[in-house]
Chain A
Amino acid sequence: MGVVVFAIAVLPPTTRSSGIASETTFAQTDSGWFINITDPGRPVRMAIPDFEIGTADASSFSETISSVVWNDMEFASIYRLVPKRNYHIAQSEGDARAIDFYQWESVGADILIKGVTEIQRETLITEVRIYAIKAQEMVFGKRYEGPAAAARRMAHRIADDILMQAGNYRGINQTKLAFSSDRRGERSKEIYIMDYDGFNQRPLTANRSLNLTPTWAPSGRALAYVSYRTGTPALHLAHIYEGRGELIETGAGMAINPSWSPDGSRIAFTSTADGNSELYLVNSDGGGLRRLTDHPGIDTSPCWSPTGREIAFTSDRTGAPQIYAMDTDGLNLRRISYEGSYNDSPSWSPSRQYSELTFASRIERGPFDIVVYDFQTRQTRQLTTGRGSNENPGWSPNGLHIVFTSSRSGSDQIWTMNRDGSNQKRLTRDGNNKTPQWGPIPIEDS
């Protein structure tokens, strides 16, 4: 069972007509953002009261779903969340389903999320409605059904729907992260996966060898990674939901640092087949081996542009590791990074809105910090500052968040932050955890 399918139904509107015509205060812009057009500078405020408990046995699930939805909305950083302490003013005493739009407006809410959770015949059911307060109408309603054990997943699904319906924003709440961890013993590193918020951490490999640098298939159903399990570093595939793995044949030499192409057809990686680290391509189903670079320096750490037509990578051809880009046929080589004495781990933003590349950068011999290079302005901005060493940045699939490794807590752990460096949040605690990669947004079944 790979993907839990929630049965869903679109709810009929329950708009309470107040008889007072009100202007539509909200409008969608070209970029699809749900903004306040009467005062564009004011952030849109969202109220999310704890979901109601429909049946007594649903109380803990209601609590879980409420808190996950709240945390997801906080992480997305799109809306200003109205503090819960003010909600009592607007909560109706009588009919729980009646919405007192004026009171919600008085506590500062522009958007109200209402939910009810119940258990019926061992099935978890949550109904969610989104209200536009000024317009005094329900703009979205949906009913979710699923196994009770999948409450967190249901909540992430709800949060993604809210972001899409209220803001035309592609949430990443249902995504997963893959990383390499030594938590089962210093001498081995296994590939782990977890939810984007750090929950449900679980091992994918259990071979007690070195397993490093996972990269997601765009389907989200497979990972390629480097394993030493056969005695030499080689590319391995893990079909996550089939419990099956395979070795990718890459010819002679060591194969390291794989990166899966956006269309899923190829994997770029570093091979020493010709006696020196060069970039290669191989078809993800094997075969089609092709060399991309030919230089006595080290060429490594490839990553794909979102179009699949370019590859950024690290090369020390000028003496120190710096970031370069080239077309996928190996032509049109150009240097990207000029600041910093040592730059590595490039990751190209998948965003359609921003054209940027993040990588780890070091000045002199100090620790690394995460920087972002903007292709339009050719400027580089620094997102982390001198708290431990910050490495291995990778974009969320909507290009608005970055996952990275930081040693600031005294050990290497996985952290996430927004693309402006705000909201830095630690996800892992056990052992040392490195080389995270953010998985794709799962394909919706509805």
Chain B
Amino acid sequence: MSASKGGLKLRTPKAVGSLLATVVLASLASACGGKTDRPPVVTSDPGSLDTAETTPEPPAPRPPQPTPPMPPVDTGEDLVRSDDPAGISGMDLVDLNEPGREFLEDVFFGFDSASLDGAARAILDEHARTLNQYPDMKVLIEGHCDERGTVEYNLALGERRANQVYNYLMSLGIASNRMRTITYGKEFPIDPGHNEQAWTRNRRGRFEITEK
């Protein structure tokens, strides 16, 4: 289990081919420096476990990485709103999924709610147009919650939020095989605060481009 792999921003679906692997390797260095808001995924055999009785000293955790300053945005190029298919093919997935600058912006939910309000629908309408524009693009829809509920129920609520987004995009004609959902419950807040503003930001549906 390599620590550097653990720091990757990408959760790699099986379907992604070697092109992605190349992209991943090429962007490994930059990826490791960035803050992710998702857990790393271990691709090794799930059967391997530390034993309780003879647990070796766990490897030292990676020292906290300083958050690098945001790279300067290319002048004249709007990453999110680009209408140029060539623009996206020229970018790797890490750039598309960069925290805070995601290609597909987050949608937000009300307290203890998974319903999509007008603002959320407007954003998703736009996402549907983008997805239609890039027919090879596949997305992982993440459901997140604020810290106030319980661990267990929030896992279910996050799933429902992701599922609502999935269903709405499907109603707009996006094929189900281009979307996957996951819940992170309240495990990965984007805002660590304990106030209304943080909670509002953390109740979100987030999009990870898994193929383009």
Enumerate chain A interface residues (CB-CB to B < 8 A): 1-2, 184-185, 187-189, 193, 202-210, 212-213, 226-233, 236, 238-247, 254, 256-257, 270, 272, 275-277, 298, 300-301, 314, 320-321, 342, 344-345, 360, 365, 368, 391-392, 434-435
Contacts and interface: CB of A to CB of B under 8 A. Distances in A.
Contacts of A301: 150, 152-153
Main DSSP-derived SS at the B contact region? loop
A210 B39 contact: yes
Nearest to A207: B42
Interface string B170-198: 00000000000111100110000000000
B155 A233 contact: yes
B84 interface: no
Given A202-B55, A240-B52, A246-B47, A272 B159 contact: yes
B49 A187 contact: no
B156 A187 contact: no
Contact of B182 (A233, A300, A392, A434): A233
Contacts of A233: 155, 182-183
A345 B159 contact: no
A276 B163 contact: yes
Contact of A185 (B55, B61, B181, B184): B61
A204 B6 CA distance: 18
Given A187-B39, A188-B40, A204-B50, A298 B61 contact: no
B151 interface: yes
B10 to A, nearest CB: 10
A344 B39 contact: no
11 contacts: A189-B39, A207-B44, A209-B40, A228-B41, A231-B13, A240-B51, A242-B51, A243-B49, A254-B182, A256-B183, A300-B156
A391 B149 CA distance: 9
Interface in B89-111: 111
B1 to A, nearest CB: 7
Contacts of A241: 51-53
Given A203-B50, A204-B50, A238-B49, A298 B41 contact: no
B156 A244 contact: no
Contacts of B153: 298, 300-301, 314, 321, 342, 344-345
A229 B151 contact: no
Most buried by B among A226, A240, A256, A342: A256
Contacts of A391: 150-151
A189 B160 contact: no
B75 interface: no
A435 B50 contact: no
A275 B163 contact: yes
A-B pairs with lowest CB-CB distance, top 8 = A243-B51, A245-B49, A300-B156, A344-B150, A277-B156, A240-B52, A210-B39, A207-B42
A202 B11 CA distance: 28
Contacts of B129: none
Interface string B136-163: 0000000000001111110111011001
Nearest to A245: B49
B150 to A, nearest CB: 4
A125 to B, nearest CB: 23
B81 interface: no
Nearest to B46: A247
A298 B188 CA distance: 21
B18 to A, nearest CB: 18
B151 A435 contact: yes
A203 B58 contact: yes
A275 B151 CA distance: 20
Contacts of B111: 365
B67 interface: no
